[in-house]
Amino acid sequence: MLYSLRLFLFLINSDQPTILNWFDSTLNTKTTLGQDDPIYKLIASLSLFKNDLLQKVQDGLNLTDIENVIFFLIFVRFIILIFRYNLKTSTYITCIGIFAGYLWYRHLIDIVTMYSQLLIKFPYWRKLGVSAIELQRSSVALAKTDMQLGSNVHWYNPGKLFYYAFTKGIIHTDPDSGLRYYIDPISMIISNLNETNKARILPYYYQVYNVIIPYLVETIGEFWQQLSGIVAYAMLTRVGKRYCPYLVRWHWTFLLIMGFLEQVMIFFIFRVEYFQQNVLEPNLVFNVATQASGSRAVTLSATDPNLLFQFNALSIVLLVCISVHIGSIFFGLLHAIYGQYFYIPLFVETTELHIGPRPKNSIYSGGNTAWQDEKQANIYRKFPKLWYGWFGNGTKTNWITGPVQTFFRKSVQKVIRLFKK
């Protein structure tokens, strides 16, 4: 009888009129929406936003889009910190995060510029590669021609910004003749000399300004380009560590240590590209036979399937390696601008050997570092703990033994329930 009632429920037609007749009510609904209807406009706007978002995801992001996302996240965090603390404290914390994120973004620019010729070969990274090539070409053009001085300086290059501001400040261009004059104190003093002294001093003056000073600037610039990062790191995080926030010191030290492994990854990627472009690609297509077609000869060619498989496999290897490399930099960048930490075995331990543990009593030190709290417990673990949760909040179970213990515990509980029945 019970199964007959269940079968009877399935035979009932459960459409809208049947349900409305059951409750003895009527429902008037609009089958179509007009173009002036607010719901229609909302649906159209959401559809347009979805299509734009999907197109943006498919095309990838360029450097401008990345900067816009970074500044938006910084602004959102600044607003949240205002409600949590006050305007002064939130400004300090946001500036610390901006400086730490600047280190990662500068590193991202260097890596993207290095990979620019490879990025344009992959659909998602193409726009990023094109923007990196344009940035590189504009920098080379400005260095060679010195035209449009300072018009293309970016915020992440303060040294070039200061150089262009200083150079534009001491040079005056006559709008009528187009001649350029120096307006520094030495040039102004020489311009007021009499003709006799001016004729005697001007050869030395032009020798100094046109030969010696540019040569010194070029030499010092090359020397500074090689050692600026290490000198700035030593001065800020070692000599002035009392005034340098822990978040900046942690991320800066982590970047320097990560650079040793990055060199291996970069050399591997370029060796794979060299083998693909110079060994596989020239031998990919070969001539099979030459046939006469009227008055001309036609050459038949074919593709080696084994070499084609190797070529496509290496393309996948390049895509995975580049995506992992750039993705890891984005991962560190997002943690830095939000004042957070993350755990990677060996790298984090080496970093904290140099700068010490995080001062937990300071609100300017950033987020959580759960691995420092479990430092003594890690010594007695058989398996190292590799995951401490998002933003270093910590987890209760080990990433290896935790799932195994959960599986056995649930299995035992199921067996016990079977025997109880």
Residue 343, pLDDT score: 86
Report yes or no on 301 lying in a domain. Answer: yes
Residue 202, pLDDT score: 80
Residue 401, pLDDT score: 54
pTM of the model: 0.66
Name the domain count of the chain. 1
Report yes or no on 77 lying in a domain. Answer: yes
Report yes or no on 377 lying in a domain. Answer: no
Q: Which residues of the chain have pLDDT under 50?
A: 1-3, 5-10, 23, 25, 27, 29-31, 147-149
Residue 285's domain comprises 52-367
* Mean per-residue pLDDT over the chain, rounded: 76
Residue 329, pLDDT score: 92
Report yes or no on 2 lying in a domain. Answer: no
Q: Give the Cα separation of 111 and 6 in Å (integer).
A: 66
The H or E element that residue 299 is part of is: strand 296-303
Q: Which two tokens stand for residue 208?
A: 């100094």
Alpha helices in 234-302 (DSSP H): 246-275
Report yes or no on 182 lying in a domain. Answer: yes
Q: Which two tokens stand for residue 358?
A: 């995080």
- The residue assigned the tokens 């300017």 is 364
Report yes or no on 124 lying in a domain. Answer: yes
**348: which residues sit within 8 A by CB, 6+ positions away?**
254, 342, 371
Residue 120, pLDDT score: 86
Report yes or no on 357 lying in a domain. Answer: yes
In this structure, which amino acid lies at residue 70?
Answer: I
Report yes or no on 121 lying in a domain. Answer: yes
Residue 333, pLDDT score: 92
